Amino acid sequence: MTEPAALRPLRERIPAPPEVRLPDALDGVTWRPATSDDAPAITGLLEAMSRRDHPDWSESLAEIVDELEHSWIDLPHDSALAHDADGALVAWGLVIEMPEPESLLRVILPGGVHPERRGQGLGRRLLDWQRARAEQRLSRSDSILPAWVLSYAPDRAPEHGRLLERSGFEPARYFTSLVAVLDGADLERPLPDGVRVEPMSVKRSEAVRRAKNSSFADHWGSQPATVEGWSSMLALPSARPDLSRIALVDDEVVGFVLTEINEDDWERQGFTGCYIGLVGTVREWRGRGLASALLADVMRAAREAGLERVVLDVDAENPTGALGVYTRLGFAATSRDVSYRIAY
């Protein structure tokens, strides 16, 4: 993207598409927008999709309800559901323009097709609609920021990546899932001088949000967490403040590890465990062993709670050297996802 183009408003960079309509009915499959009442059916479809795409986990009903109810999603125009002739849900998709961007405007395209209905053109029609709706939204924006339309594909389901590439997306970043076994792990990591640690708490929520925004400012594609998005994430039933940790210096948050548990995943994973959703250290405290100490504390707490493993995801090119921190704590790679992008 050239510098002059980057300084022009998006409405001048992206031609407004003609009327964006859901795909036409074909072979008994009909399309309609989603409503919040569709959350259980979408969760069921995601469960079926996960068996092919990422068999170790699936989205919970609470997470889907939360997604559909965000104020920045216009469900009548930003969602699509496909039903077969028997009324079963066979495909779904959203177009999510992330709110309050600072340096990058992102539109994210979650969705997919039931594994038994793949290869029939449903995914192509869904993605064509998603891209058209994303560009319609961008073409109405006065923002002069760069813009990305993003989607993700797991390595273990290469049909996703092929579809995205045929539709003009390029692979842009790789994210690796890591797992650590807690039994027998060496988890002694000293805290830097002057740092104290406590569990996550409601009273620290806003301070941790600000620390998250500061610590992720130089991460690929990251934008500040909004108050609404942050609050809803922490309110999910999966959030575990007791197994999360924050680091403070003179009552200022300088690092954090936020942990989640979805017990519904344990049977499919074959172990009891927790998921570390966010790890961050503000720039001034990097390179002092703080992240390692916080992670070790969380892992000890998880082990004491009777959990067997800890899971997290990492950007393979993370600028903070996070991958090395994790591997030294015993984490090993299990799978990989690819982020695909169209840049404007």
pLDDT tens per residue across span 283-342? 999 999 999 999 999 999 999 999 999 999 999 887 667 888 999 999 999 999 999 999
> Is the pLDDT score of 1 beyond 50?
no
> Is the pLDDT score of 25 beyond 60?
yes
Q: Which of 171, 152, 168, 159 is nearest to 109 (CA)?
A: 152
Report percent pLDDT > 70 for the chain. Answer: 98
* pLDDT average, residue stretch 90-112: 98
Cβ contacts of 40 within 8 Å, gap of 6 or more: 61
Question: Two tokens at 272?
Answer: 């009891």
Cβ contacts of 321 within 8 Å, gap of 6 or more: none
> Is the pLDDT score of 109 beyond 90?
yes
pLDDT value for 318: 72
Rounded mean pLDDT of the chain? 95
Spatial distance between the Cα atoms of 214 and 327, rounded to a whole number of angstroms: 24
> Is the pLDDT score of 76 beyond 60?
yes
* pLDDT average, residue stretch 140-156: 96
Q: Nearest-5° angle of CA 139, CA 140, CA 145?
A: 70
Q: Which of 14-23, 97-106, 300-309 has the lowest mean pLDDT?
A: 14-23
Within 10 angstroms of residue 190's Cβ, the number of other Cβ atoms is: 10
Burial 50-77 (b: 16+ CB within 10 A, else e): bebbbebbbbbbbbbbbbbebeebeeee
Q: How many CA atoms within 13 Å lie on the side-chain side of 43? A: 16
pLDDT value for 3: 42
Whole-prediction pTM: 0.93
* pLDDT average, residue stretch 251-270: 97
Q: How would residue 5 be classed by pLDDT, with cut points 50, 70 and 90?
A: very low
Length of the chain: 344
pLDDT in tens, 223-252: 999 999 999 999 999 999 999 999 999 999
Report strand pairing: 147-154 vs 105-108. parallel
* CA dihedral of 236, 153, 92, 268, whole degrees rounded to 10: -60
Spatial distance between the Cα atoms of 104 and 98, rounded to a whole number of angstroms: 10
pLDDT value for 319: 64
Spatial distance between the Cα atoms of 278 and 214, rounded to a whole number of angstroms: 13
* CA dihedral of 333, 335, 234, 43, whole degrees rounded to 10: -160
Report percent pLDDT > 90 for the chain. Answer: 94
Q: Which residue has the higher pLDDT, 19 or 247?
A: 247
